[in-house]
Amino acid sequence: MASVEDRIKAVEEELSKTKRHKGTEHHIGLLLAKLARLRREREFRSSKKGGGSGFDIKKAGDATVVMVGFPSVGKSTLLSKLTRAKSKVADYEFTTLEVIPGIMEHEGARIQVLDIPGIIGGAGAGKGRGKEVISVSRKADLILILLDAKRPEHYETIVRELHEANIRLDEAPPEITLKKGIRGGVHITTSKKLTRLNRKSIIEILNEFGMHNGTITFREDAGPERLVDALAGNRIYIPSVVAVNKVDTVGGKLPAGFPQGALAISAGKGEGIDALKGKIYEKLGLIKVYTKPRMGEIKYDEPMVLHQGDTVEGACRKLPRDFLREFRYALVWGKSVKFPGQRVGLEHVLRDGDILSIVKW
């Protein structure tokens, strides 16, 4: 019987030979489902052998950014410009052989930036300790892709390797929910018309994952790959920022061939660093909330940094434990409430610039 690795290669080869169009979507969907199942089997066997533990990184600050790029792209130099960290810098490949952390301070936020070893083609499948390296990226709040101004083709390689490692850049999780049953077959409900999947495709993909009874609900017009991602259950959805380094070597401007929205920088000369910091802060979706002691002044010089969508409970968790344990209610001034000083509970969602006062028992 062929090994798992051989079966994976066979499916990958068939996928590469299959042209994508409406007539092949059903077949591609089944191949993707089979590939996801085989890769999950490979990961399970690897974990039983004790492999793929990755680098042990402790998250710090208000958010974590992981820099991903090919060797010698300038990640170490950029880290030293963004933070106070000292990462070894040299003009040869594979300078960084461990994960180097640093803290970037911007707009009152303390953002952890990690310089990881350069990845190479095949990293997602384990080449060059790629699995261990990319495992750090799965813990990121944002991935900073750093490219060389002379190598635009590296972008597609990096995205592919991250995709191989089940990281989905700048995507929202599939709006697909699954409830398993023990009998009665599969029931499909939709709130959006499905134009890329039919009942036969859905059933066969579900069967590939071992589901033969239950209810699946679609709240988006999903295609085969989105369905497979939802069923696999091990995908990570992370925003990204793309920076193109060494633009001083190509005339100082961003050359053609790079993705839209990429920032032109020169880490060596310190050019474009402030713009990059601002982009990172913006893409992380950070907000500032100002605390106010019940009988004191608003602490404008000590903002609490949270993420968009965070609640009063999330704010309490960044304070000493007694604030959550003895929480009675909170008073909020700002855009998130209907009137100044509105009384709210732990579930209240805060917005940027809010003022928060917590009342304890």
Q: What is the mean pLDDT of residues 76-98?
A: 69
Sign of the C-alpha dihedral, residues 342, 347, 352, 355?
Answer: positive
Q: What is the pLDDT of residue 53?
A: 46
Task: Give the DSSP letter string of 148-193.
Answer: ETT-TTHHHHHHHHHHHTTEEET-PPP-EEEEE-SSS-EEEEESS-
pLDDT in tens, 132-141: 778 888 889 9
Query: Would you state the CATH architecture of domain 286-360?
Result: Roll (3.10)
pLDDT tens-digit series, residues 6-17: 888 888 888 888
Fold of 63-171+236-284: Rossmann fold (3.40.50)
* pLDDT > 90: percent of the chain: 66
Take residue 52 and report the two structure tokens written for it: 């793929």
Q: Decide if 63-171+236-284 and 286-360 have a common fold.
A: no
Q: Which of 343, 58, 34 is nearest to 204 (CA)?
A: 34
Q: Which residues contact 210 (CB under 8 A, 6 or more apart)?
A: none
Domain boundaries, the chain: 4-51+174-232, 63-171+236-284, 286-360
226-271 pLDDT tens trace: 999 999 988 999 999 999 999 999 998 899 999 999 999 999 999 9
Q: What is the pLDDT of residues 268-316, one digit of tens each?
A: 999 999 999 999 999 999 999 999 998 889 999 999 999 999 999 999 9
* β-strand partners of 357: 331
CA 15 to chain centre: 26
Q: Measured between alpha carbons, how far is 2 from 8 in angstroms, rounded to an integer?
A: 10
